[in-house]
Amino acid sequence: MTNDDTSAAGVTATADDLDSYLNLDPMSQFSGVAGDVRDPYPALWDKRQHHPVERIETTSWKGDPIVQYTVYPFDLVSQVMRDNETFVSAAIRETMGLVMGDTLLVGLDEPEHRRQRALVAPAFRAKAMARWETTLMSTVIDELIDRFAARGRAELVRELTFQFPVQVIAEILGIPRSDYTLFHRWAMAIINLVADPAAGFAAAQDLREYLKPLIDARRAEPCDDVISDLVTVELPDADGRPERLSDEEINSFLCLLLPAGAETTYRASGNLLFGLLGQPDQLDAVRTDRGLLPQAVEEGLRWENPLTITMRRAVRETELGGVHIEAGADVIAHLGAANHDPQHWDRPDDFDIHRPQRQAAVFGFGPHMCLGMHLARLELRLVVTHLLDRFPDLRLDAGAGGDPHIHGDRFRSPTALPVLF
Interacting residues with other proteins (CB under 8 A): 82, 114, 117-118, 121-122, 125-127, 235, 357-359, 364-369, 371, 373-374, 377
Q: Which is nearer to other proteins, 49 or 359 (CB)?
A: 359
Closest separation between CB of residue 78 and other proteins, Å? 10
Closest separation between CB of residue 298 and other proteins, Å? 10
Q: Which is nearer to other proteins, 204 or 384 (CB)?
A: 384
Closest separation between CB of residue 69 and other proteins, Å? 22
The 8-class DSSP code of residue 356 comes to P
Taking a C-beta distance cutoff of 8 angstroms, is the pair 259, 190 a contact? yes
Alpha-carbon distances of 51 from 33, 69, 181, 321, rounded to whole Å: 25, 10, 44, 10
Q: Which is nearer to other proteins, 153 or 358 (CB)?
A: 358
Q: Which is nearer to other proteins, 95 or 228 (CB)?
A: 228
Closest separation between CB of residue 344 and other proteins, Å? 12
Closest separation between CB of residue 117 and other proteins, Å? 6
Closest separation between CB of residue 247 and other proteins, Å? 23
Report the C-alpha gap between 172 and 214 in whole angstroms.
Answer: 13
Q: How far is CA 109 from the centre of its chain?
A: 20
Nearest residue to 307 (alpha-carbon basis) of 229, 362, 366, 369: 362
Q: Which is nearer to other proteins, 298 or 397 (CB)?
A: 298
CB-based burial, 146-169: b 16+ in 10 Å, e otherwise: eebeeeeebbbbebbbbbbbbbbb
Q: Which is nearer to other proteins, 78 or 103 (CB)?
A: 78
Q: Which is nearer to other proteins, 125 or 147 (CB)?
A: 125
Closest separation between CB of residue 243 and other proteins, Å? 13
Nearest residue to 266 (alpha-carbon basis) of 165, 401, 372: 165
Residue type, 218: R
Q: Which is nearer to other proteins, 43 or 126 (CB)?
A: 126
Reduce the DSSP state of residue 313 to 3 states and report it. strand
Closest separation between CB of residue 123 and other proteins, Å? 11
Q: How many CB atoms lie within 10 A of CB 1?
A: 12
Residue type, 90: A
CB-based burial, 239-249: b 16+ in 10 Å, e otherwise: eeeeeebeeeb
- The residues, ordered by sequence, that sit 6+ positions from 18 with a Cβ below 8 Å of its Cβ are 185, 189, 199, 202, 203, 206
Nearest residue to 336 (alpha-carbon basis) of 44, 32, 38, 82: 44
